[in-house]
Structure 1
């Protein structure tokens, strides 16, 4: 019986489970809340999953016997949980021995961030670029990437480090922000970001599972790094409404949270050549226009 274990069932991981669960006989997921774990296992409406799963409560602070047993039987493990406060990976911190004892383990995927590259001043970066993370969060992600790379080398298991750009998809996109009246058209000269539709994250994981010989860092990102104000303007166009007025960075910087300011403190163009050519994945939504157009049609 083939088993997939997913650590941290959040927005992206839920879509991934929907995409790849048919390849496995048994799917185990973890969430922090024991009540949510019970609801997911019982197939409650909160799950919104088209597959029967086993959910286990795991907060990353201690070893959980049920999770230990699942890991020892796992064929594939996907880690979507963030680093702990001490910058350690919760699964490696609590269950490294169980992972090391997983006799059938043939693939590990870690959902990281393009934030590990830091600020490139609007220039291009790829998987061979040096990593100089600016924020503490991205620094912790890089440390966890290194820990998983070391584990993979020690255990002889391929580890795919999926560096995600700005995630959007159903319920989490510029169209939703426009309709809620929370969208801002902030203009910061030279500022560009990449994005990735959640369906393409799921698609990339599916392709990676089919090609475990390809490992290491992989930028999971779209083909068109763009100024953020362009995305908001296009969402307004799709909705047939006027876009919010432009605001300069100097006007709004002081009103943003420290997390938002750190995000805006980085500008780069992220290459997805390895995703397309080495992994061979064809993006369903290669730019924000394709993604938002599909989301508008599904509203």
Structure 2
């Protein structure tokens, strides 16, 4: 007599905030998981289905709309940014209220949580020191998720992400407008990751990250911000950004832009290579921008 075996379906995974990076992540996950994608825009449902995800309509700012997510998936990727005001991340708080116990969650945070580090190079052991409202909300979200993970016996990993770039995420319009950059003497070190490499890194973190571990999702670049702009300008045949002193720049850019140009840090990425086995497709910005130029020309 033949034994009857119950067919086991794919595990369920939920992407919260399925924008550009989430769409790049889908092809890496859909063969292994039954993927759901939370969206607040019903008009995106067809796009998500075509990419291999099951759309779930809900809004992180409306807790009642999230009830259908309760128990939906044991694997989660949280890509949704906080709201643009307040010191807490109410969206992550609303999400944590309906998450199941004993699940796995990758939270995509920001390297901005470190604040200005004066160009110092450091690893994930450095304490956070947020210096603007955006970063303060991110630290609040990280801490909230740590508390949730302990209480629910879940496995949390945090990826701290710098400037994300790709062929369609380059500062070309900024260069065409002639927006200024800082002089070499006052410029800041900036960090980067290609969007495709970030998607791969999220996938690796789901399976290989240690519990409650922080990882720097950065490439091997060691560039100042204006040098990055010059690299893109030269690659695409555009004028280089004019260089101004910080005092001059304050008169021409918004406070938000100025805050991005006021924090200097260089992040070590050995942990993603050593613990996650990450092999960067674009190990530095030079490689990524060159590939983007070849793809667009």
The alpha carbon displacement at 1:291 in A equals 0.9
| Equivalent residue for 1:139, pick from 136, 141, 144 | 136
Q: Secondary structure of the equivalent of 1:98?
A: coil
- The 2-side partners of 1:57 and 1:297 are apart by 39
Instruction: Calculate the aligned-residue CA RMSD, in Å.
Output: 2.3
1:249-291 alpha-carbon deviations (Å, 9 max, x no partner) = 3322222111111122211111111111121111111211011
The aligned counterpart of 2:74 is 75
> Paired residue for 1:181, among 166, 174, 177?
177
Deviation at 1:245, TM superposition (A): 3.3
For 2:280 and 2:16, locate their aligned partners in 1 and report how far apart those are by CA, in whole Å. 25
- Separation in 2, partners of 1:238, 1:87: 40
Question: Residue in 1 aligned with 2:7?
Answer: none
**Mapped partners of 1:26, 1:239: distance in 2:** 37
Structure 1's 59 and 282: CA in aligned 2 closer, same or farther, altered over 3 A? same
2:39 matched residue in structure 1: 30
Computing the radius of gyration over CA atoms, which structure comes out larger, 1 or 2?
2
* C-alpha distance in 2 between matches for 1:181 and 1:261: 17
Counterpart contact for 2:69–2:98, Cα < 8 Å: no
1:39 correspondence with 2:72: no
* Contact 2:116-2:263 at 8 Å conserved across structures: yes
Q: Which runs of 5+ in 2 are unaligned?
A: 1-9
Matched position secondary structure for 2:190: coil
Q: Number of aligned residue pairs: give it.
A: 285
| C-alpha spacing 1:155/1:215, structure 2 compared with 1 (3 Å) | same
Q: Which moved more, 1:160-169 or 1:48-57?
A: 48-57
Q: 1:150 to 1:253 in 2, by over 3 A?
A: same
- Alpha-carbon offset, residue 192 of structure 1: 0.8
Deviations along 1:165-213, whole A, 9 cap, x unmatched? 11111321134544x4355443252521111111111010011122144
Q: TM-score, normalised by structure 2?
A: 0.86
* Native 8 Å contact 2:60 2:94 kept in 1: no
Shift of 1:51: 1.6
Show structure 1 runs of 5+ residues with no match.
Answer: none
C-alpha spacing 1:182/1:70, structure 2 compared with 1 (3 Å)? farther
Of 151, 154, 158 in structure 2, the residue corresponding to residue 154 of structure 1 is 151
What TM-score, normalized to structure 1?
A: 0.86
Asked if the contact 1:61/1:90 (under 8 Å) is kept, the reply is: no
| Aligned-partner Cα distance in 1 for 2:161–2:141 | 15
Q: Does 1:233 align with 2:237?
A: no
SS in 2 for 1:28: strand
Aligned pair partner of 1:111 in 98, 104, 108: 108
| Equivalences for residues 252-271 of structure 1 within 5 A | 252-271=249-268
